[in-house]
Amino acid sequence: MLNVKMAVNGMLVKADDVIIPQFSKLLDADPYLSNHQRELKRRYGCFEQILASIEQDEGGLDAFTQGYISHGLHRTADGGVRCKEWAPGAEAVYIKGEFNGWSGTEYPLQNTGFGKWEITLPSKSDGTSPIPHNSIVRLGIKTKSGEIVDRNLAWASYAVQDPKTMLYQSVFWDPPQDQVYSSKNPKPQWTGQGLRIYEAHVGISSWEGKVASYDHFTDNVLPRIKGQGYNAIQLMAVMEHAFYASFGYQVTTFFAPSSRCGNPEALKRLVDTAHGMGIYVFLDVVHSHAANNTLDGLNKFDGTDSCYFHAGTRGHHMLWDSRLFDYNNWEVLRFLLSNLRWWVDEFNFDGFRFDGVSSMIYHHHGIGTGFSGDYSDYFGLAVDTEALTYLTLANHMLHKLFPGIVTIAEEVSGMPALCRPIEEGGYGFDFRLAMAIPDKWIKLLKETQDEDWNIGDIVWTLINRRHGERTIAYAESHDQALVGDKTIAFWLMDKEMYTNMSVLSPQTDVIDRGMALHKCIRLITHALGGEAWLNFIGNEFGHPEWLDFPRPGNNNSYHYARRQWNLVDDDVLRYRFLNSFDRAMNHLDEKFDWLASPQAYISWKHEEDKVIAFERARLLFIFNFHCSKSFPDYKVGVDLPGKYKMVLNSDCSEFGGHNRLDPSAIHFTSKDGYGGRMNSLQVYIPSRVCIVLALEDDIVKHGL
């Protein structure tokens, strides 16, 4: 790490002398960390060291993370255009484009030191810009060998595909003021309430076989999301990526929204419209790696193997065929931190899901490694301190400058303290994804009949999370929808989804079982699995088939790269029942906010009966996963006494059920304690049904 000095209590001291805060809260939450205090302090010291250097040498974190103001292409006050890029390995740099007929060496940039190259083009004689808005601009980089190679601007805010070469080219996005989208709605502030996140990909959001636009999503999909009761959207594949089938994970232009879906102003409108609906919008940000593309990406930007990335094998991801950032490089930190800031400042995003965190924080990137939970995995030499320091800096910057912002880690290893405050010795994320839960459901559906499901194992998977670290639960996400796997609905019903989903034909055993388990799996994951819930676009109504983007392997077909809204909108088809249950589930959480409540108390998990019962947010949840047995007068323990009524019932005809339960029935508690609870009540719980009971007073209070 950088060898710097820092101020502590007003005194300038060496980094080795810094007094590291005690981690008592962290150790109280996880006593196993006691054996690793020294390493925790070392990591915290690395973060403090970099932060102090930013304060000392860059004028503070606020200035350092606004690199996009000085870098890239910008209009000057007198109508000219200034260009600034970082290319430390270049011998010379030139700017060219449509504005000068692609003349290669007409406009050389000046080397201003530290690998920075700059030029200011004066305005034309009539006062207009020398580079027109929406025109293509590229750099000519003279390498050490004397060759001049074409490169996109690293800080470009827009890129479009050349229909002849199919390469993406950087564009000077400088619209006149009357074409700049201006936000109309206040930005919602997250205050810690439960999040119901709708994971979405704009390009696949139309039922037609094409790339859908930001405007299409704004006008047609946002109302659906709002109606379903979601309060957050996680947008995938927004950062520009040349290969559509990469699902946005091979980023080529980090500051540019994908032009295949529209221009930057259309994306601003999408985010602002969501805000007007009270919906947060999160960006799936890929800082774990970058596309290997040279002609339209960052690879070999200055003609060397390094620049933004590690040189040699450390700079290449062997499985993803992509480049790996050098998080210890000062200009890489400026680039990545400014990139996060850009998406908030320019587009008003409310948070980020950081992709591939496990790949970032381990030198082995998780390749060939099975994480057992042994703490030696988390505190050994395999951990990449530089990447951890970057993530800590990113979380610190975002939460300091934008209170209420949300950060989410896609992290599979279970790194302790990932979602603990930085001042406690954590890394500052707000949530982590519960990646073991969808794996468990898919494994059960692939390998085991539901009559053989281990109820205790299911419950343990749902509650097995780090105390004091928020978790996002999900039964399936885009990972399970991609070709090579199947969605839960498809695993359950693929044999008959094409022929037996009509209400005009009798319901078969396969469809009956599939719809019943689809509802039970989603509700128990929603209510028991974490402090937030995530659903992938279309899965709320049991979207059939898989997700596959146009590519040579499927003859560039869009057939599986779309969402078939026509299925859920057709009253003759049963998809609408699953959609209605998803909506009711979310709206019930909106009333009772169980996601923001403490973890549930599980009073019952019976292997033979296949029944699970637990309480959370003053609600009583009961699940019967048995394939054939229904139980009349089933006794369940409950803590709070009183009169209980059903507020959700998966067997209701509105949800495609058999209407075996009386929704008006009142369940009186008895002082006969049961299942470790002070009171008990009795219910009728049919096979493959889940119900939720609430106290009558709470029902009135919440207006149900």
Longest dimension (CA), the chain: 91
Question: In sequence order, what DSSP letters do the residues of 300-347 get, joined into one string?
Answer: TTTSSS-TTB-SGGGGEETTTTEE-B-TTSHHHHHHHHHHHHHHHHHH
Measured between alpha carbons, how far is 618 from 702 in angstroms, rounded to an integer? 12
Tokens of 314: 């450390």
Angstrom distances, CA of residue 454 to CA of 236, 458, 603: 34, 6, 17
Judge contact between 616 and 528, C-beta under 8 A.
yes
> Quick count: other Cβ atoms within 10 Å of Cβ 374?
9
| CA-closest candidate to residue 93, choices 106, 81, 102 | 106
Rounded alpha-carbon distances, angstroms, from residue 496 to 500, 509, 532: 5, 10, 32
- For residue 355, indicate whether it is catalytic: yes
Please give the single-letter amino acid code of residue 142: K
Contact in structure between 639 and 650 (CB atoms under 8 Å): no
* 3-state class (DSSP) for residue 609: coil
- How far is it, in rounded angstroms, from Cα 302 to Cα 322? 17
Nearest alpha-carbon partner for 359 in 381, 384, 339: 384
**344-to-233, 302, 335 alpha-carbon distances in Å:** 15, 28, 15
Q: Say how far apart CA 37 and CA 41 lie, in whole Å.
A: 6
Q: Is 609 a catalytic residue?
A: no
Please enumerate in sequence order all residues whose Cβ is within 8 A of that of 435, keeping only pairs 6 or more positions apart, or say none.
Answer: 410, 411, 412
> Which is nearest to 224 in space by CA: 2, 527, 538, 597?
538
Alpha-carbon gap, residue 185 to 275, rounded angstroms: 6
Closest by Cα among 387, 328, 395, 396 to 359:
387
Say if CB 694 and CB 592 are below 8 A apart. yes
CB-based contacts of 483, cutoff 8 Å, min separation 6: 546, 547, 548, 560
Q: Which of 355, 450, 545, 651 is catalytic?
A: 355
- Supply the DSSP symbol for 372: -
DSSP 115-160: TEEEEEEPPPTTS--SS-TTEEEEEEEE-TTS-EEEE--TT-S-EE
Q: Are 144 and 89 in contact (CB under 8 A)?
A: yes
Report helix, strand or coil for 257: strand
Residue 334 · residue 66 · CB < 8 Å: no
| Catalytic residue from among 284, 410, 479, 540 | 410
Give the span between the Cα atoms of 336 and 631, in whole angstroms: 57
- Rounded to an integer, what distance in angstroms lies between the CA atom of residue 553 and that of residue 496? 26
The β-bridge relationship of strands 532-536 and 195-201 is parallel
Known catalytic residues?
A: 355, 410
